[in-house]
Amino acid sequence: MSGDHLHNDPQIEAGFRVNDSHKHKKDKEHRHKEHKKDKDREKSKHNNSEHKEHSEKKHKDKHKDVEKHGEKHREKDGEKHRDGLKHTLKITRDKDSEKHKDGEKHREKDGEKHKDGEKHKDKHRDKDREKRKEEKLKSSSGSVKVKKENGFSSPVRVKDEPEDGFTISPTAHNKAMKRPRDDDDDYKPKKIKSEGEKKGKKRKQEEEEEDIKPKKNKTKDKGHVGEVKKKKGKKEEEEKWKWWEEERHADGVKWKFLEHKGPVFAPAYEPLPDNVKFYYDGKVVKLTPKAEEVATFFAQMLEHEYTTKDIFRKNFFKDWKKEMSADEKNMITNLSKCDFTEMAKYFKAQSEARKAMTKEEKQKIKEENEKTLQEYGFCVMDNHRQRIANFRIEPPGLFRGRGDHPKMGKLKRRIMPENIIINCSKDSKIPTPPAGHKWKEVRHDSKVTWLVSWTENIQGSIKYIMLNPSSRIKGEKDWQKYETARRLKMCVDKIRNTYREDWKSKEMKVRQRAVALYFIDKLALRAGNEKEEGETADTVGCCSLRVEHIKLYPEIDGQEFVVEFDFLGKDSIRYYNKVPVEKRVFKNLQLFMENKQPEDDLFDRLNTSILNKHLQDLMEGLTAKVFRTYNASITLQQQLKELTNADDNVPAKILSYNRANRAVAILCNHQRAPPKTFEKSMMNLQTKIDAKKDQLMDAKRELKSAKADAKVRRDEKTKKLLESKKKAVQRIEEQLMKLEVQATDREENKQIALGTSKLNYLDPRISVAWSKKFGIPIEKIYNKTQREKFAWAIDMADDDYEF
């Protein structure tokens, strides 16, 4: 009954299961068939009391030392149980094992470096901390700032003492926020407020703020056109509508008024010129327009390795045939006999031509784009003109899934007005469909945020047109997300204690839930919904982990109870990590794996909805993904505290920021393929650095001689010269330093993508507070789009904001 044999299974040992799609398929088929059986078997097994007793006994044995062990860990654990942080990185979308190996090597280096980085910060840490403490005392004892929090959530269920003065009593914010904005308000399209007529209110100690807020310029309406050209002269405001200072809509209502112009459709297909031929089996064939269009999709991808893949070709050919006339269908029976090269050449030429266009032509196109943007890129939602995120309908083409996708190559069909559902206010001007067409439906549902939707034909899922991240409706939600994460902060200790207790539960389901939650918390894994088999790439998250995805080592590399994770997560990005876990977790995992096949679910009694239901009971609004947000944000905050050195210059501080950001990206496993030009650009930088070093040497030499000179003849002129030489050396040193910092940053960032965490997981107020505190211009942290998205945070966070 030991299940030991599983550990020796060569398939697991190999680890790169995913690389071989054929084997993979077999695995799947196998799994498919076996799955039900297994599940049933498991079920009856677990239900039977004998088994329960057995497992319980097993656990009792170890009770005591687990307890001790656990206790020890606990202390360190608090906020910074982030050993997962160091986890290793490897880029790989299944594909080639080459890359796997590569990644392995790099990762060691990376690990080293991070440690270094962590060390050098220590020096100043203590000093800093003290200062901070003082500041905090000052601010918290003085005026109790009543900061407005967005009261999306009702009071915390699990209350733990707020650890710092900064929290707002739930009741307070309730009062402030509860009031539904305007029951009565009938929603006529009132005049559109041009952003910015809001009162300034709040805001106290301004010192560093003043440079960020040249309040005055009343905003022009429309904000745009004239604005864009204005150079970046510091503030590119557009004083914006401060929705965050207004009250929210009542429950569930997303808007009162919504008007827009509908989507922009993909341009109609333009048949190829007659001189561009397609050959089948060596002979010219003139395709019907429908078939030709689909053929061009394939031709355009000819360069891509997709087109060499079996599944891709198979799917494509099948869908292509559906578009062919009867004659074509009869004649064209073998994709390999199709010659698309002339088409491909034609498209290449086209794109060359586009590049070679004159300035004027390019300018004209740009203007046209701007015009469509102005016309279709905005909607009016509740009196404000708001930017739409994706107002263009996705054009037809061949579906490219990520990773080993069973549907790659299928035809993504052209979306017509007849497929489109419009959502807007009853009393708005309803968008007009293109001439000769009509919408599938026009509805007026103010409980949702989308303007347009359609059903896509690959997965049958619904696609939406929604607003830009800078819009109120997205911003509020984003803000709310971080508030939920902050509430988790208050009760996370309690929750951790709870799941530790649950490791001992006699109910299998509870144990599995507790272990899964531990992973989600400690390693920031995704929840792991189940997916339909064969419909998508085979990827997993926490709840959907299979036995084959982990390996247990009672002891390895001098560590006890190590779990090795190796699986493909979202977007088929590989997650590889070796983590020591607590003994009780380890034992539980052994238990969960007993008598299972590699392709069986590790947590067979658990799924995301069970888990989330449980979380809901622990804290209102808590779901698995909140842990990711929480751990990411808290990690940033803590890393910033540790890494930032108040005496550093700006570039060095930014390096610290990026390192903190990087710690989060590593935690969340946000990887990227190293840029194709990485090596080269690295070398370029190095050359620059070398040049700068030479320059510095020269400057130093000159300084020396100037010094000597100054000693001998002590006239004004030489003195001045000396001064200027000194300055020169200093300046060059600074430049050199800047370059070196840049090099470090880039190297460390080779296969880590900071963007995703910055955009989706890090409470922007942490960054804003940091930048204010250390006098770093916010532009160095957030680019323009990011500043737009986080306008609410930039406006409201002071330098003492605590997540």
Partner DNA sequence: AAGACTACTTAGCACACGTTTT
Partner DNA sequence: AAAACGTGTGCTAAGTAGTCTT
| Site for DNA, residues 347 to 386, rule: CB under 7 A | 351, 355, 362, 366
CB of 547 to DNA, least distance (A): 18
Q: Which of 346, 761, 782, 801 is catalytic?
A: 761
Query: Looking only at residues 563 through 582 of this chain, which bind DNA when binding is defined by CB under 7 A?
Result: 569-573
Q: Which helix (H) or strand (E) holds 423?
A: strand 421-423
Measured from the CB atom, the residue of 67 and 456 that comes closer to DNA is: 456
Compute the distance between CA of residue 661 and CA of residue 667 in angstroms, rounded to an integer: 10
Measured from the CB atom, the residue of 174 and 390 that comes closer to DNA is: 390
The residue with tokens 């060596």 is 282
Q: Which helix (H) or strand (E) holds 504?
A: none
Choose, by CB under 7 A, the member of 673, 689, 696, 736 that binds DNA. Answer: 673
CB of 672 to DNA, least distance (A): 4
CB of 298 to DNA, least distance (A): 15
Q: Are 526 and 540 in contact (CB under 8 A)?
A: no
Q: Are 109 and 599 in contact (CB under 8 A)?
A: no
Total count of residues recorded for the chain: 803
Measured from the CB atom, the residue of 7 and 106 that comes closer to DNA is: 106
Q: Which helix (H) or strand (E) holds 395?
A: none
Q: Are 800 and 772 in contact (CB under 8 A)?
A: no
Instruction: Determine if residue 300 is left, alpha or beta; phi over 0 gives left, psi from -120 to 50 gives alpha, anything else beta.
Output: alpha
Measured from the CB atom, the residue of 589 and 762 that comes closer to DNA is: 762
Confirm or reject binding of residue 626 to DNA (CB under 7 A).
yes
Contacts of 157 (CB under 8 A, 6+ apart): 618, 619, 620
Choose, by CB under 7 A, the member of 115, 337, 711, 784 that binds DNA. Answer: 784
In a 10 Å sphere around its CB, with 0-12 CB exposed, 13-18 middle and 19+ buried, how is residue 262 labelled?
buried
Measured from the CB atom, the residue of 511 and 725 that comes closer to DNA is: 511
Confirm or reject binding of residue 537 to DNA (CB under 7 A).
yes
Confirm or reject binding of residue 168 to DNA (CB under 7 A).
no
Straight-line distance from the first to the last Cα atom of the chain, in angstroms, rounded to the nearest whole number: 48
**Of 365, 356, 350, nearest to 273 (Cα)?**
350
Q: Are 113 and 659 in contact (CB under 8 A)?
A: no
> Given the rule CB under 7 A, which of 288-296, 402-410, 428-436, 511-519 is the region that contacts DNA?
402-410
Measured from the CB atom, the residue of 289 and 755 that comes closer to DNA is: 755
Provide the pairing of β-strand 452-455 with 421-423. Answer: antiparallel
Provide the pairing of β-strand 421-423 with 411-412. Answer: unpaired
Angle at 72 between CA 67 and CA 74, to 5 degrees: 95
Confirm or reject binding of residue 395 to DNA (CB under 7 A).
yes
Measured from the CB atom, the residue of 65 and 445 that comes closer to DNA is: 445
Rounded to 5 degrees, φ, ψ at 384 are: -125, 140
Q: Are 508 and 46 in contact (CB under 8 A)?
A: yes
CB of 756 to DNA, least distance (A): 4
Choose, by CB under 7 A, the member of 432, 681, 686, 705 that binds DNA. Answer: 681
CB of 697 to DNA, least distance (A): 20
Confirm or reject binding of residue 41 to DNA (CB under 7 A).
no
> Structure tokens of 738?
């800047």
Measured from the CB atom, the residue of 284 and 462 that comes closer to DNA is: 462
Confirm or reject binding of residue 302 to DNA (CB under 7 A).
no
CB of 662 to DNA, least distance (A): 13
CB of 341 to DNA, least distance (A): 18
**Which DSSP string corresponds to 296-322?**
HHHHHTTTSGGGGSHHHHHHHHHHHHH
Confirm or reject binding of residue 150 to DNA (CB under 7 A).
no
Confirm or reject binding of residue 394 to DNA (CB under 7 A).
yes
Measured from the CB atom, the residue of 572 and 645 that comes closer to DNA is: 572
Query: Looking only at residues 627 through 646 of this chain, which bind DNA when binding is defined by CB under 7 A?
Result: 629
Choose, by CB under 7 A, the member of 527, 585, 640, 776 that binds DNA. Answer: 527
Compute the distance between CA of residue 60 and CA of residue 504 in angstroms, rounded to an integer: 9
Query: Looking only at residues 706 through 745 of this chain, which bind DNA when binding is defined by CB under 7 A?
Result: none
> Per-residue x/- marks for DNA, 184-213, CB under 7 A?
------------------------------
Choose, by CB under 7 A, the member of 288, 325, 684, 724 that binds DNA. Answer: 684
Measured from the CB atom, the residue of 552 and 673 that comes closer to DNA is: 673
**Of 637, 640, 669, nearest to 657 (Cα)?**
640
Strand order, beta sheet including 278-280: 283-285, 278-280, 338-339
> Given the rule CB under 7 A, which of 45-53, 186-194, 341-349, 394-402 is the region that contacts DNA?
394-402
Confirm or reject binding of residue 7 to DNA (CB under 7 A).
no
> Per-residue x/- marks for DNA, 458-477, CB under 7 A?
xxxxx-x-x-------x--x
CB atoms within 10 A of CB 190: 12
Rounded to 5 degrees, φ, ψ at 797 are: -85, 130
CB of 433 to DNA, least distance (A): 19
Q: Annotated catalytic, 279?
A: no
CB of 495 to DNA, least distance (A): 14
Compute the distance between CA of residue 484 and CA of residue 482 in angstroms, rounded to an integer: 5
Residues facing residue 574 across a β-bridge: 568
Confirm or reject binding of residue 442 to DNA (CB under 7 A).
no
Confirm or reject binding of residue 756 to DNA (CB under 7 A).
yes
Confirm or reject binding of residue 624 to DNA (CB under 7 A).
yes
> Given the rule CB under 7 A, which of 209-217, 334-342, 681-689, 692-700 is the region that contacts DNA?
681-689
Provide the pairing of β-strand 550-556 with 462-465. Answer: unpaired
Confirm or reject binding of residue 390 to DNA (CB under 7 A).
yes
Confirm or reject binding of residue 277 to DNA (CB under 7 A).
no
Residues facing residue 442 across a β-bridge: 422
CB of 527 to DNA, least distance (A): 3
**Of 509, 514, 507, 498, nearest to 584 (Cα)?**
514
Query: Looking only at residues 72 through 111 of this chain, which bind DNA when binding is defined by CB under 7 A?
Result: 93
**Which DSSP string corresponds to 88-120?**
-----BSS-HHHHHHHHHHHHHHHHHHHHHHHH
In a 10 Å sphere around its CB, with 0-12 CB exposed, 13-18 middle and 19+ buried, how is residue 125 labelled?
middle
Measured from the CB atom, the residue of 147 and 477 that comes closer to DNA is: 477
> Given the rule CB under 7 A, which of 96-104, 209-217, 537-545, 556-564 is the region that contacts DNA?
537-545
Confirm or reject binding of residue 650 to DNA (CB under 7 A).
no
Compute the distance between CA of residue 546 and CA of residue 199 in angstroms, rounded to an integer: 56
Compute the distance between CA of residue 609 and CA of residue 731 in angstroms, rounded to an integer: 59
Confirm or reject binding of residue 487 to DNA (CB under 7 A).
no
Choose, by CB under 7 A, the member of 223, 263, 528, 651 that binds DNA. Answer: 528
Confirm or reject binding of residue 448 to DNA (CB under 7 A).
yes
Choose, by CB under 7 A, the member of 103, 223, 403, 409 that binds DNA. Answer: 403
Compute the distance between CA of residue 353 and CA of residue 245 in angstroms, rounded to an integer: 50
Measured from the CB atom, the residue of 296 and 706 that comes closer to DNA is: 296
Choose, by CB under 7 A, the member of 150, 588, 669, 771 that binds DNA. Answer: 669
How many chain residues touch DNA (CB under 7 A)? 85
> Structure tokens of 184?
């009565």
Confirm or reject binding of residue 44 to DNA (CB under 7 A).
no
Kindly list the catalytic residues: 761
